[in-house]
Amino acid sequence: MRDLKYLAAMTIPLSAALSILLLDYWSFFTPFYAFVIIPVMELLLPQDASNLSEEERETKTKSKFFDWMLYFNVPIVFGFLFFTLWKVSNTELYLHEIIGLVFSIGIVLGVNGINVGHELGHRQQTPERFLGKLLLLPSLYMHFYIEHNFGHHANAATKEDPATARYNQSVYSFWFTSVFRQYFSAWKIQSKLLKADGLSFFTIKNDMLWYTLFQVAYLALVYFLFGFIGLWFALGAGVIGFLLLETVNYIEHYGLMRKKLSSGRYERVRESHSWNSNHVIGRIVLYELTRHSDHHYKSAKKYQLLDYHDISPQMPYGYPTSMVLSFVPPLWFHIMNQRIPKEMKPDQDSLSLA
């Protein structure tokens, strides 16, 4: 029964259901739930730094329940998305209601879409990876699969990594640099992979071309079924979805840098190069994403098996609360800069990319 705690991830789409059904200012309930109610709950509830016993680990490794918890997000995400598209294109809504629904569905796309897509994208089975990429589609972020798996996990906590926020860089600056650098990085990685296989740019094995085609086809379908308002809604929700991801990227590695060795290569990724959080609510709503240190240490490990390492830098708050703090850069810097190990800080503390 304890494993049912991961059903808490479904409270995000449930909050979106309230937004869709009640409308008016209730259309903003999902962002209120995600960035007010959950952070308050994180502050009130205790942390849990315990790891699984060997017996528990063996049981959870064999159980398919945890996999089906992820698969269930596919009909949830697309069901909520297309119902809301039908709603906004067939109902006269006030502007504030449409804006509220864009944020509410966008958060569903980020939490139950991209976050779950990220987990499935690390799996070894092709069908699971397919579902992972499918969940990236509505946020127009399918290139994330290539850049994250072949780029980020190799370059995390270095200047070469678009998804590592530098010391004193604001989240707003990071949104801009990470979004564009990751996209172009994905193309570069794809080109290298094709070249290594002796293939040309125009080949059926060019996944970036397929991702572009699928995303254009998705938007064309939305326009055909729901018109201009549906198209703009889908674009807006997609942007909210990937900005939610980028905010998570921001807090996961902020200011943590790997040393460059005399050979010119970086030291290997260790548990100290990602921010960890043991706050219970954030852990279960985000499928243990907050145990990010162990994820980078062993990226193929499934979410229900991730461990806490006491050498990992600890966030003072959970991921949802930390995301809220990041929206106020001076407050974020005040809280987080003092927690960054001295050896990882730049020579001049006055350096600012904010």
SS (H, E, C) the chain: CHHHHHHHHHHHHHHHHHHHHHCHHHHHHHHHHHHHHHHHHHHHCCECCCCCCHHHHHHHHHCCHHHHHHHCHHHHHHHHHHHHHHHHHHCCCCHHHHHHHHHHHHHHHHHHHHHHHHHHHCCCCHHHHHHHHHHHHHHCCCHHHHHHHHHHHHHCCCCCCCCCCCCCCCHHHHHHHHHHHHHHHHHHHHHHHHHHCCCCCCCCCCHHHHHHHHHHHHHHHHHHHHHHHHHHHHHHHHHHHHHHHHHHHHHHHCCCCCCECCCCCECCCCHHHCCECCEHHHHHHCCCCCCHHHHHHCCCCCHHHCCCCCCCCECCCCHHHHHHHHCCHHHHHHHHHHHCCHHHCCCCCCCCCC
Q: Note the pLDDT of residue 3.
A: 84
Specify if 181 maps to a domain.
Answer: yes
The stretch 139-159 carries a mean pLDDT of: 97
The 8 Å CB, 24+ separation contacts for 87-94 are: 87/20, 88/226, 88/229, 88/230, 88/233, 89/225, 89/226, 89/227, 89/229, 89/230, 89/233, 93/23, 94/24
* Range of the structural domain that residue 274 is part of: 2-258+266-341
The stretch 280-294 carries a mean pLDDT of: 94
Nearest to 11, CA basis, from 291, 303, 281: 281
The stretch 155-167 carries a mean pLDDT of: 96
- Alpha carbon distance 27, 24 (integer Å): 6
> With 60 as the cut, is the pLDDT of residue 120 above it?
yes
Q: Note the pLDDT of residue 350.
A: 44
Specify if 352 maps to a domain.
Answer: no
Q: Note the pLDDT of residue 90.
A: 97
**Domains of the chain: total:** 1
The stretch 248-259 carries a mean pLDDT of: 96
pLDDT digits over 40-64, tens only?
Answer: 999 999 899 999 999 999 999 999 9
Specify if 208 maps to a domain.
Answer: yes
> With 70 as the cut, is the pLDDT of residue 114 above it?
yes
Specify if 73 maps to a domain.
Answer: yes
Question: If pLDDT is split at 50, 70 and 90, which confidence band does 152 have?
Answer: very high
Exposure string of 196-229, with b = 16+ CB inside 10 Å and e = fewer, is eeeeeeeeeebbbeebeebbeebbeebeeebeee
Specify if 351 maps to a domain.
Answer: no
- Alpha carbon distance 313, 335 (integer Å): 13
Q: Mean pLDDT of all residues in the chain?
A: 95
> With 60 as the cut, is the pLDDT of residue 290 above it?
yes
Q: Note the pLDDT of residue 157.
A: 96
Specify if 354 maps to a domain.
Answer: no
The stretch 90-119 carries a mean pLDDT of: 98
**Owner of token pair 């698969």:** 71
- Alpha carbon distance 354, 351 (integer Å): 9
> With 60 as the cut, is the pLDDT of residue 182 above it?
yes
Query: What pTM does this model have?
Result: 0.95
Q: Note the pLDDT of residue 300.
A: 86
